[in-house]
Structure 1
Amino acid sequence: MNEEIDFILDSAKESMEEAIKHLKKQLTNIRAGKANPAMLSSVMVEYYGTMTPLNQVSNVNTPDARTLTIQPFEKTMFKEIEKGIMNANLGFNPMNNGESVIINVPPLTEERRLQLSKQAKAEAEEAKIGVRNDRRTAMNEIKKADLPEDVQKDTEDEIQKLTDSFIVEIDRINTIKEKEIMTV
């Protein structure tokens, strides 16, 4: 019986940790005003007929807070890289100087910062929904497990405490990201 409870708790915790990982990944795609190679993580380029992530055909660097440089491994990739950046619809205008592709990251306007902040809040809310769904699944498993009433109640309380701790963590991550976005 204890093994069953441990299994339910472990799988709930694992699922909730996945929600946190997913949130962190989504938040790295939201730019916070300064250049970051992760901004281009969604860019795909055509490489010998196959769509390939940009970071597999080039080096992406940030020489300063407002500039991204992309150095392709092959000189023939300049046009494809520029096309991939434009197709990714990130709002960047790539420039080719013959040796690398340069992107000047424009400073964020107050309006854009507020939009990005709302987007980050929406991502955090999605993560909270995921955690709550994981809680519901675990609670249903406990009800099905045919446990004594006091053990069932204790386990449900434990699941709720676990859920609350993950919700607090999501709020903490979101607060950090919003502060990062709103900092000029």
Structure 2
Amino acid sequence: MTVADAKKIAEQKMQKSIENLKADLAKVRTGRAHTGLLDHVMVDYYGSPTALSQVANLTLIDARTIGVQPYEKKMGAVIEKAIREADLGLNPSTQGEMIRVPTPPLNEERRKEMVKLVKSEAEDAKIAVRNIRRDANESLKKLLKDKACSEDEERRAQDEVQKLTDKFVVEIDKIVADKEKEVLTV
């Protein structure tokens, strides 16, 4: 491993942390309906847990309603039960073969809870980025100890890793501020 490898690995891992944060924040409910709310809902499909998107077609009927069209007619009741038990605060109703999932408007208290959840996710992402920085610095110190780089190279690399960390923390703050604004918009 070289100094450049250590920096490159750290940057890739930090980028992955940002992607994970975005994926986690996509699940946080805002005032509008979106099919991403049901991404992690698992349905009992012939004895094995299966993602809802694998057993049904998800569409937006309007700004506040998600439509779920099961691929098999007999799956309707199972899907409705899975959505209800997913603890999302959603109450699906079956109309013919279509399951309608209205998303209730968020009240002020619920919006504040969502903002707390968003900030918690952001803090987890920042901790992950800092842990990556720590690991990168440890590998740089190991390179120095093994005499694979000079003290100056190691110091410069640590400074660059710190700059990377700062850049990703600022990006996390920006993502969270945008999501917070989205959640608080009535």
- Mapped to 2, the partners of 1:49 and 1:149 lie a distance apart of 59
Match of 1:11 in 2: 9
Counterparts in 2 of 1:33-72, with a 5 A limit?
Answer: 33-72=31-70
**Residue of structure 2 in register with 1:142 after alignment:** 140
SS across alignment from 1:55? helix
1:114 counterpart residue number = 112
Counterpart in the other structure of 1:86 = 84
Residue 149 (structure 1) shift: 1.8
With structure 2 as the length reference, what TM-score do the two structures score?
0.95
5+ residue gaps, structure 1: none
Residue correspondences, number = 182
Output the aligned Cα RMSD.
0.9
Gaps of 5+ in 2: none
Sequence identity (%): 47
Provide the secondary structure at the position in 2 that maps to 1:145. Answer: helix
8 Å CA contact 2:3–2:154 kept in 1: the answer is no
Alignment of 1:145-164 (within 5 A): 145-146=143-144, 147-164=149-166
Identify which range, 105-114 or 149-158, moves more after superposition: 149-158
Trace 1:162-181 onto structure 2 (pairs within 5 A). Answer: 162-181=164-183
CA-to-partner distance for each residue in 1:18-46, whole Å, 9 max, x for gaps?
A: 11111011101101110000000111111
Q: Following superposition, which runs of at least 4 residues in structure 1 exceed 4 angstroms of deviation?
A: none
2:18 is matched with which residue: 17, 20, 30? 20
Instruction: Report the Cα offset of residue 59 of structure 1.
Output: 0.7
Per the normalisation by structure 1, the TM-score is: 0.96
